[in-house]
Amino acid sequence: MITLAVGLVEPTNTKPTNTKPTNTKPTNTKPTGSDLESQEPVDSISAALAERGAKYGAFINHAEICQDLKLAIKLHLDNRQKSLHYDQQEALDMICHKIARIINGDADYADSWVDIAGYAKLVADRLEKMHAEL
């Protein structure tokens, strides 16, 4: 587990420069069109997260599975003193991501399986081209 420390910065001027608030709205008014528009990104993000959660399961569980898979790959590569090209490592990372979605969520969602094949094919195509040029 990686822990990040975040420092807080104190404001340099803590005294208010103007005692009368500006651009305040009464608290008993209905939201206006501009208020509703500012909610749209939050609502669309929430909707997307809910949709993905229903399809792939809870993100925290997905993250655990995915990181376990990536760690296993790293340990086995390290034990063999082996490294991969960037595209190979990234493909494996993305494949781990897709496998975690399958394990944690809907295993019958075809796109996850197609994506795995796609990432593998990207690497295979490069390797076949490289070997053909030799």
Tokens representing 24 are: 């305040």
Query: How many Cα atoms sit within 13 Å of 98 on the Cβ side?
Result: 19
Which whole number is the average pLDDT over 110-124?
Answer: 98
Inform me whether the pLDDT recorded for 99 exceeds 50: yes
The answer to whether residues 112 and 98 touch, using CB atoms and an 8 Å cutoff, is yes
Q: Above pLDDT 70, what percent of the chain? A: 71
Q: Write the CB contacts of 69 (distance below 8 Å, at least 6 apart in sequence).
A: 96, 99, 100
Q: Please report, for the chain, how many H helices and E strands are present, in that order.
A: 4, 0
Q: What is the pTM of this model?
A: 0.69
pLDDT band at 15 (very low <50, low <70, confident <90, very high): very low
Buried-state track 80-106, b at ≥16 Cβ within 10 A, e below 16: eeeeeeeebbebbebbbbbbbbbebbe
When pLDDT is averaged across residues 54-60 and rounded to a whole number, the result is 97
The residue assigned the tokens 């420069």 is 17
Confidence of residue 30 (pLDDT cuts 50, 70, 90): low
The whole-chain average pLDDT of the chain stands at: 82
Q: What is the pLDDT of residue 38?
A: 59
